[in-house]
């Protein structure tokens, strides 16, 4: 099956982020950007993304797609089912780009614009097929922050809109469909309000860029990473909730708490002031270093939110659940130890020493057990009957270490099986063929409701019994049946 193709028109920080999103979701990507530096810039964004994204999904990601650079816009868009435009914020330029795109692209492709501010009905004013062009406004870094604001013009059909939502979701983004077309959509209106107010604070000498940033990062910035404006204020209202909050702070609307009735003039003096304050604040780091610091922090926050299944973390968990599990290998030869599961050392599996953490070995062995049980017929339908297998005892041995991205096949052998009880052994290999860990498990078949052991159903036992019989001819390693600390 051929892969889906995305065209990226404009390969800056935003275009590069989109390229990474599509590539890491298994799409092929074709970039067009006349900038001779585009290839280098995109590969840098892609490196950041490749280091970051696997830390957020505890399943194997799809095989990454291929990245190509096209010599012309026409070549880039010709095969694409998604075309993402991220050229500078000049309306005439964008409109000219769409004209060129629509002459060369598929009629059933969707064209998303990364515009921060223009309305879809402005973007498509000269378009051949106006419904094909929608606003899909992402946030930097695009490969980490899931949000995309989706705004469609009236000409876009429901089918097109559904396709856009489906594709954006499939590359791990969270489309929020904004029903009304307004300048700057929603997020950038809020950002613009803050930006204008902050410019006044700098202009009037009330605070420096450093002070404003400190105030944000040590207070409400932390709040907004997990609850937005309204939920935060609902909580702040205390037991009386939202109404109380509004009645308390509503009157401030009439007070001179912002300068936003006016717009500061962004003259050379103000630009100099901001740029030099920003140098004093952040100049000790290069932009690349700041990007890495930012990504590391964002990954940490997202992992926290995943653990608590909240906000952007709940979104990531839902995405993870929608991805296929590691494929199960079929049983090739019942007379040999089985190879049904291969672990891949994910970034989250690594400790501060760079080695796979102790408990991840048991995670891998558990998944090998699950793969084995799946191979003998324990599926969702079986679980629904209320029966399952339950590990009561485990003996683990650590013989070697594993590092990031190592591929570790696990070999499984049945030591003994009855309809109620299973004695299973796993051995984990590294690429050199050394056994780096072993496990031995006593597993009971239990009735989940009654909480006691019971015989496995015939659909399981009919597969398990011949396997167990065949494995009785296999040699049993001498570490089996030994206690912890027993000499070989």
Q: Contact between 411 and a second copy (CB under 8 A)?
A: no
Q: Is 348 in the site for a second copy (CB under 8 A)?
A: yes
CB of 90 to a second copy, least distance (A): 9
Q: Positive or negative CA dihedral for 129, 131, 137, 142?
A: negative
Measured from the CB of residue 286, what is the shortest distance to a second copy in angstroms?
9
DSSP per position, 177-198: E--S--TTTTHHHHHHHHHHHH
Which of 224, 334, 374, 409 binds a second copy (CB under 8 A)? It is: 224
DSSP structural state of residue 350: B
Residue 391 tokens, joined: 């590990």
Interface residue with a second copy among 432, 483, 487, 488 (CB under 8 A) is 483
**Cβ 63 to a second copy, closest distance in Å?**
26
Considering only residues 423 to 452 of the shown chain, the ones binding a second copy according to CB under 8 A are 423, 440-442, 448
Contact map string, positions 179 to 218, toward a second copy, x by CB under 8 A: xx-xxx-xxxxxxxxxxxxxx-x--xxxx-xxxxxxxxxx
**What minimum distance in Å lies between the beta carbon of 189 and a second copy?**
5
Q: Exposure pattern of 54-87 as b/e (b: 16+ CB <10 Å)? A: bbbbbbebeebbebebbeebeebbbbbbbbbbbb
The only residue of 145, 161, 331, 470 in contact with a second copy, by rule CB under 8 A:
145
The residue count for the chain: 488
The H-or-E segment that residue 83 falls in is: strand 82-85
Taking alpha carbons only, the member of 125, 142, 72, 131 closest to residue 101 is 72
CB 429 within 8 A of CB 436: yes
- For Cα atoms 226, 356, 326, give the angle at the middle one, nearest 5 degrees: 75
Q: For residues 51-90, which are near a second copy according to CB under 8 A? A: 88-89
Using CB under 8 A, which of 108, 126, 162, 249 touches a second copy? Answer: 249
- The interface with a second copy within residues 281-310 (CB under 8 A) comprises 281-282, 287, 290-291, 293-294, 296-298, 300-310
Q: Applying CB under 8 A, which part among 62-70, 238-246, 331-339, 469-477 lies near a second copy?
A: 238-246
* Cβ partners under 8 Å of residue 365, min gap 6: 394, 396, 410, 426, 428, 437, 439, 441
We find the least distance from the C-beta atom of residue 229 to a second copy, in angstroms, to be: 6
Distance CA 222, CA 235 (A): 15
What is the nearest approach in angstroms of a second copy to the Cβ of residue 30?
22
| Contacts by residues 108-111 (CB-CB < 8 Å, ≥ 24 positions apart) | 108/81, 109/77, 109/80, 109/81, 109/82, 109/83, 110/81, 110/82, 110/83, 110/134, 110/160, 110/163, 110/164, 110/167, 111/83, 111/84, 111/85
Nearer to a second copy, 35 or 108 (CB): 35
Q: What are the distances in angstroms from CA 360 to CA 78, 203, 220, 401, 456? A: 45, 54, 36, 12, 29
Nearest partner of 372 among 355, 389, 359, 395, judged by Cα:
389
Nearer to a second copy, 113 or 277 (CB): 277
Nearer to a second copy, 222 or 332 (CB): 222
Q: Does 228 bind a second copy (CB under 8 A)?
A: yes
Query: Does residue 254 touch a second copy according to CB under 8 A?
Result: yes
Q: Note whether 385 binds a second copy by CB under 8 A.
A: no
Kindly state the number of chain residues that form the binding site for a second copy, as judged by CB under 8 A: 155
The C-alpha atoms of residue 219 and residue 135 are separated, in whole angstroms, by 32
Binding to a second copy, residues 156-175 (CB under 8 A): 174
What are the strands, taking DSSP E only, across 300-456? 338-344, 387-398, 407-417, 421-429, 435-447, 452-453
Q: Does residue number 104 form part of the binding site for a second copy (CB under 8 A)?
A: no
Residues 452-481 that bind a second copy (CB under 8 A): 481
Residue 78 CB, shortest distance to a second copy, in Å, is 29
Q: Residue 333 CB, nearest distance to a second copy (Å)?
A: 26
Choice from 34, 154, 221, 327 touching a second copy (CB under 8 A): 221
Which CB, 65 or 234, lies closer to a second copy?
Answer: 234
Residue closer to a second copy by CB (options 96, 182) is: 182
Look-up of token digits 């007379």: 335
Q: Which of 235, 269, 332, 405 is close enough to bind a second copy by CB under 8 A? A: 235
């Amino acid at each position: 099956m051929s892969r889906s193709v995305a065209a990226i028109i404009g390969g800056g920080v935003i275009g590069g982020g989109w390229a990474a999103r599509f590539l890491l979701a298994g799409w092929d990507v074709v970039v067009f950007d006349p900038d001779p530096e585009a290839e280098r810039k995109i590969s840098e964004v892609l490196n950041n993304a490749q280091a970051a994204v696997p830390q957020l999904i505890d399943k194997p990601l799809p095989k990454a797609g291929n990245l190509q650079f096209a010599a012309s816009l026409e070549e880039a868009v010709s095969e694409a089912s998604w075309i993402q435009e991220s050229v500078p914020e000049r309306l005439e330029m964008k409109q000219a780009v769409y004209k060129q795109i629509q002459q060369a692209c598929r009629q059933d492709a969707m064209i998303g614009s990364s515009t921060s501010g223009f309305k879809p009905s402005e973007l498509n004013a000269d378009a051949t097929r106006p419904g094909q062009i929608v606003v899909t406004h992402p946030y930097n870094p695009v490969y980490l922050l899931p949000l995309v604001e989706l705004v469609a013009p009236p000409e876009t059909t429901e089918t097109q809109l559904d396709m856009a939502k489906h594709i954006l979701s499939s590359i791990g983004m969270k489309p929020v469909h904004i029903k009304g077309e307004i300048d700057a959509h929603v997020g950038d209106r809020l950002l613009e309000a803050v930006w204008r107010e902050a410019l006044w604070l700098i202009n009037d000498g009330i605070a420096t860029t450093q002070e404003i940033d400190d105030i944000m990062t040590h207070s409400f910035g932390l709040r907004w990473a997990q609850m937005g404006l309204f939920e935060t204020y609902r909580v702040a209202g205390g037991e009386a909730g939202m109404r109380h909050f509004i009645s308390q702070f509503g009157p401030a609307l009439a007070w001179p708490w912002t300068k936003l009735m006016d717009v500061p003039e962004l003259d050379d003096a103000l630009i100099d002031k901001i740029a030099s304050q920003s140098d004093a604040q952040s100049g000790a780091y290069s932009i690349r270093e700041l990007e890495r610091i930012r990504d590391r922090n964002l990954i940490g926050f997202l992992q926290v939110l995943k653990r608590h299944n909240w906000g952007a973390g709940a979104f990531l968990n839902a995405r993870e659940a929608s991805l296929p599990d590691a494929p199960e290998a079929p049983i090739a030869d019942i007379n040999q130890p089985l190879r049904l599961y291969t672990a891949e050392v994910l970034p989250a599996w690594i400790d501060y020493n760079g080695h796979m953490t102790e408990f991840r070995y048991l995670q891998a062995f558990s998944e090998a057990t699950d793969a084995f049980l799946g191979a003998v017929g324990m599926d969702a339908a079986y679980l629904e009957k209320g029966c399952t297998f339950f590990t009561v005892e485990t003996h683990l041995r650590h013989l070697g270490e594993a590092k990031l991205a190592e591929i570790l096949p696990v070999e499984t052998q049945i030591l003994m099986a009855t309809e109620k009880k299973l004695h299973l052994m796993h051995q984990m290999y590294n690429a050199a063929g050394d056994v780096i860990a072993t496990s031995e498990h006593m597993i009971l078949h239990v009735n989940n409701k009654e909480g006691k052991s019971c015989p496995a159903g015939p659909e399981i036992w009919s597969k398990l019994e011949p396997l167990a019989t065949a494995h009785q001819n296999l040699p049993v390693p001498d570490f089996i049946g030994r206690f912890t600390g027993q000499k070989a």
